[in-house]
A and B are shown apart, each in its own frame.
Chain A
Amino acid sequence: MSEFLHFSEHTLQEVALGFMGLVYTTRIVWFLRRFKAGSERQAATGPASTTPKKGILYSWANVAMPWAMESTRRQYLIYTQFVVFHLGVTAAIVLSFIIPYGPSLLESQTFVLIFQIIIGAAFLVGVIRIIRRVSNPYMRAISSPDDYFSLVLLTTWFFFALLAVPNQTSGGEWHLLTYFILTAFFLVYVPFSKISHYLYYPFTRYYLGKTWGHRGVYPAQRAS
């Protein structure tokens, strides 16, 4: 392993991760201090079985319940893509820790194959998502340069993660280097892009769930 690859796998990642943590902390502090939470004075409405606590839990779990929303029920293919894409992201992130800190795990061919299937599927979904964002007039109308850039970059990252999974340098180090440099770039870029949506997800879902739980809307009654 070259010194540059070692630097990319360790020091570069650690610095980038530290930077991301710092920016995230700053953003959360800004969000919580700058914006006061609205208070609720009304007495509860809706079925007695619904409460703010149940509403919050239902709201947080909503992402894993495709049957709960009409949008995910009807567009189940897009929901499936969402699941595959985010599993791919998780796998590619985990990979960035496995290679430097637990490379022995990748000696198992089954392990490698599972990671390659997940990340490969995520790469395909990334391509489909790029095509959808470019060709669908509704998606084009709401897309910003950040939306396109983030998606293209993530898809590219999946491609190099796919190549990096076996952790082999016999054919050269370029694919591993590219994967780790891209990972570091992401760690720095993500806090400023829409990819940081997961930072706000717990908050938006918490407040929506709390209000709708108090008002008897969550857990939602399905159309019977």
Chain B
Amino acid sequence: MERDNSMSKVTTRSLKAEQVIDRMGQKLNRQMAGSLLACVHCGMCTESCHYVLANPGDPTYAPAYKGDQIRKLFKRHYDWTGRVFPKWVKADTVWSDEELEELKDTVFGKCTNCRRCTLNCPMGVDLATFNRMARGLLVSVGIMPEGVAVVSKDQWEIGNQMGVLKEDYLDTLEWMEEELQDELDDPDVAIPIDQTDCDVVYSINPREVKYDPRSIADAAKIFHVAGEKWTMASEGWDMTNFGLFSGDDALGGSVAQRLYEKVVELRGKELVISECGHGFRSTRCEGPNWAKYDVPFVMESSVFTMLRYIKEGRIKVDKSKNSTPVTYHDSCNMARSCGLYEEPRELLELVCSDFREMYPNRTENYCCTGGGGAMSMSEYTPRRLKSGIIKANQLKETGAEIVVTSCHNCVDGLTDVIRHYELGMEVTQLVNLVANALVIEPKVAIPVEEEVVEVLALAGRTLLVADDEPDQVEFLATVFEDNGARVLRASNADEALELARVEKPDLLTLDLAMPGRDVGEVYEILREDPDLEGLKICVITGRPELRKLIYDRHVRRPEGYLDKPVTEDSLVLAVRRILEVAHEEAAAPSDA
């Protein structure tokens, strides 16, 4: 097809543009077409969007404007009014890959698919649904933010969206099981794996394995105290689904089906989904539609499970153990797409003594800014943080010290907002509060007087922190020093190499985006240096797309990987885990 404007340089449509237009026809269903036809440009949705509120005067963030970038294609190619009188109804087409890149910027970078505008549209136009469709169309021709490509690839190839390897997953479960046995002083506490005929199969977010293993231990503690017959799966355990964010229904269906089939294989009676907004929506609501699979078992959020245990008297809780003022942030996917908003509050009232409501709340709550996969799109981080002012003000007004949410994306999004706007709040999940409030009957023990010596988690270790941001270096170093480590600091790759060779630290935390020498090159040198064979490396980066700098090299992969922002707990846990696994590996031959 040729462009009718002879003055333009582009005379033929690019292959990708052609495919996007063709595939749109296949993706459109009646709900989407209705939404594309019904908008009257009344502007009532404008102020419902946190991007608009944070960017006054910039109409390109207005939901109706963003919707028009997709609507114009629909009108030009699928609605006959737009075919006959395109300019009259603002119908338009795309010709080049550059125009598709502009569309990418809108559908990925200016909308988190939070659906707040849908709720506020008098016509019932579901912008988030056709925005997701547009994302899917772009992804199908390879146009997407780098982070989306990386995460989607991991979920297709490795089976989970954070690329957690099976051995790392199982190691973490084993580690958490040991921690729990120590904590409860009970060697019988277990995190069962691949047990058949259980009442509950527990699925989690890979983020819990990488950054927040404590939440796995907390859930296990609750299941143990409740006397639940439960298990986790060795594979097909990831209940998150990047297909929801990328708009890729094939990925969405494949991931969901993998999970469903594992539960069927284990003959589980119920699938319990840990606290994750998009994971819950994808697995519980959208997955059966994407996979065209009639799920033969019950699925519920762990929020319901915990509440049920309390109501049935299977666990006892003492709310005075959580006395710090808390507020609750409703995840968009939980509240606005799945109607899950009362149960978390009911649970909070049972396990916390000072719960304060946030306004607006429930289905009207504002996005945490990390929804729609925004946390994986580092190119839009400044935009995301700027829009976070709305959330920051909402949080501040509660007067709470802890914000509770039932979503891992929200944990990261809120943590970022809290740090950026210096709110000094902590983010946690219901599972952590319930576990903390548990009343566990003490075992009868004969008291033995012994001197208690506090051993710091990283005592005796030397850690090298390499990062070009002074604030980040200071944060990491302070956390490590507080935990007893000796810390060395480097602000570029060369300095890190030099210090590693001279000081031979136990572990190096490596930022991937530093000025000067290529970090990938230095990484390879470090890995190939026989004197540094024992050096463990943990990548800490805010730009996941730079992973290819090291992963494309034919050397050993890093022992750990953390996305910025990192919290103190996740940092210490990750570093401890790397060093403890290393210690066990070193000890293994002599034990054998």
From known contacts A45-B284, A142-B62, infer whether A38 and B33 are also in contact, taking CB-CB under 8 Å.
no
> Within the assembled complex, what's the spacing in Å between the Cα atoms of A149 and B85?
14
Chain A residues near B46 (CB, 8 Å)?
A: 138
Whether B34 lies near A204 (C-beta < 8 A) is: yes
Chain A residues near B298 (CB, 8 Å)?
A: 43
> Within the assembled complex, what's the spacing in Å between the Cα atoms of A7 and B573?
85
Whether A221 lies near B341 (C-beta < 8 A) is: yes
**Residue A173 at the chain B interface, CB threshold 8 Å:** no
| Chain B binder among A67-75, A92-100, A103-111, A158-166 | A67-75
B445 to chain A, nearest CB (A): 45
Interface readout for A192-205 with B: 1 if CB under 8 Å, 0 if not?
11100100110111
Whether A197 lies near B40 (C-beta < 8 A) is: yes
Chain A residues near B38 (CB, 8 Å)?
A: 197, 200-201, 203-204
| Chain A binder among B118-126, B406-414, B528-536, B581-589 | B118-126
Q: What residue of chain A has the Cβ atom nearest to residue B336's Cβ?
A: A217
> Within the assembled complex, what's the spacing in Å between the Cα atoms of A200 and B30?
11
**Residue B5 at the chain A interface, CB threshold 8 Å:** no
Chain B residues near A82 (CB, 8 Å)?
A: 42, 122
B308 to chain A, nearest CB (A): 15
Docked complex: A126-172 residues within 8 A CB-CB of B:
136-147, 149
**Residue B275 at the chain A interface, CB threshold 8 Å:** no
Q: Is the interface of A mostly helix, strand, loop or mixed?
A: helix
**Residue B214 at the chain A interface, CB threshold 8 Å:** no
B453 to chain A, nearest CB (A): 51
> Within the assembled complex, what's the spacing in Å between the Cα atoms of A138 and B48?
13
Whether A207 lies near B360 (C-beta < 8 A) is: no
Chain A residues near B289 (CB, 8 Å)?
A: 38-42
Interface readout for B503-525 with A: 1 if CB under 8 Å, 0 if not?
00000000000000000000000
Whether B339 lies near A71 (C-beta < 8 A) is: no
| Chain A binder among B86-94, B142-150, B375-383, B416-424 | B86-94
Whether A204 lies near B122 (C-beta < 8 A) is: no
A199 to chain B, nearest CB (A): 8
Q: Select one of B87, B288, B338 contacting A145, CB under 8 A.
A: B87
Whether A145 lies near B88 (C-beta < 8 A) is: yes
> Within the assembled complex, what's the spacing in Å between the Cα atoms of A215 and B65?
28
Chain B residues near A136 (CB, 8 Å)?
A: 43
Whether A208 lies near B118 (C-beta < 8 A) is: yes
Chain B residues near A42 (CB, 8 Å)?
A: 284-289
**Residue A220 at the chain B interface, CB threshold 8 Å:** yes
Whether B65 lies near A142 (C-beta < 8 A) is: yes
Q: What residue of chain B has the Cβ atom nearest to residue A210's Cβ?
A: B31
> Within the assembled complex, what's the spacing in Å between the Cα atoms of A25 and B292?
33
Q: What residue of chain B has the Cβ atom nearest to residue A137's Cβ?
A: B59
**Residue B456 at the chain A interface, CB threshold 8 Å:** no
Whether B59 lies near A138 (C-beta < 8 A) is: yes
| Chain B binder among A13-21, A27-35, A117-125 | A27-35
> Within the assembled complex, what's the spacing in Å between the Cα atoms of A69 and B73?
29
**Residue A224 at the chain B interface, CB threshold 8 Å:** yes
Q: What residue of chain A has the Cβ atom nearest to residue B48's Cβ?
A: A71
**Residue B425 at the chain A interface, CB threshold 8 Å:** no
**Residue B475 at the chain A interface, CB threshold 8 Å:** no
**Residue A59 at the chain B interface, CB threshold 8 Å:** yes
**Residue B363 at the chain A interface, CB threshold 8 Å:** yes
Docked complex: B277-295 residues within 8 A CB-CB of A:
284-289, 292-295
Chain A residues near B337 (CB, 8 Å)?
A: 215, 217
Whether A192 lies near B285 (C-beta < 8 A) is: no
Q: Between A and B, how many residue pairs show CB distances below 8 Å?
A: 188
| Residues of A within 8 A of B (CB-CB), count | 63
Q: Select one of A50, A70, A138 contacting B339, CB under 8 A.
A: A50
Chain B residues near A223 (CB, 8 Å)?
A: 359-362, 364
Chain A residues near B360 (CB, 8 Å)?
A: 70, 223
B158 to chain A, nearest CB (A): 27
Chain A residues near B37 (CB, 8 Å)?
A: 31, 200
> Within the assembled complex, what's the spacing in Å between the Cα atoms of A88 and B299?
51
Whether B43 lies near A142 (C-beta < 8 A) is: yes
**Residue B340 at the chain A interface, CB threshold 8 Å:** yes
Chain B residues near A146 (CB, 8 Å)?
A: 88-90
> Within the assembled complex, what's the spacing in Å between the Cα atoms of A141 and B52?
13
Whether A220 lies near B124 (C-beta < 8 A) is: no
Interface readout for B347-359 with A: 1 if CB under 8 Å, 0 if not?
0000000000101
Whether A217 lies near B339 (C-beta < 8 A) is: yes
B108 to chain A, nearest CB (A): 20
**Residue B432 at the chain A interface, CB threshold 8 Å:** no
**Residue A216 at the chain B interface, CB threshold 8 Å:** yes
Whether B338 lies near A47 (C-beta < 8 A) is: no
Most buried by B among A45, A59, A63, A209: A45
Q: What residue of chain A has the Cβ atom nearest to residue B288's Cβ?
A: A41
From known contacts A38-B289, A45-B285, infer whether A142 and B34 are also in contact, taking CB-CB under 8 Å.
no
Whether A204 lies near B35 (C-beta < 8 A) is: yes
Whether B124 lies near A59 (C-beta < 8 A) is: yes
**Residue B226 at the chain A interface, CB threshold 8 Å:** no
Most buried by B among A34, A78, A136, A197: A197
Whether B85 lies near A41 (C-beta < 8 A) is: no
A-B contact pairs, 29 of them (CB 8 A): A30-B80, A31-B33, A35-B29, A42-B286, A42-B287, A43-B295, A45-B284, A47-B339, A69-B44, A71-B47, A72-B44, A72-B122, A78-B44, A82-B122, A138-B52, A142-B64, A142-B65, A146-B90, A192-B81, A193-B89, A194-B39, A203-B30, A204-B123, A204-B126, A215-B338, A216-B340, A217-B336, A222-B362, A222-B364
Residues of chain A having any CB pair with chain B under 8 Å: 30-32, 34-43, 45-47, 50, 59, 62-63, 69-72, 74-75, 78, 82, 136-147, 149, 192-194, 197, 200-201, 203-205, 207-209, 211-212, 215-217, 220-224
New A-B contacts (8) at CB < 8 Å, excluding given A63-B122, A141-B59: A45-B340, A69-B44, A69-B122, A75-B47, A82-B42, A141-B62, A205-B123, A217-B337
Residues of chain B having any CB pair with chain A under 8 Å: 28-35, 37-48, 52, 57, 59-60, 62, 64-65, 68, 78, 80-81, 85, 87-90, 118-126, 284-289, 292-295, 298-299, 335-342, 357, 359-364
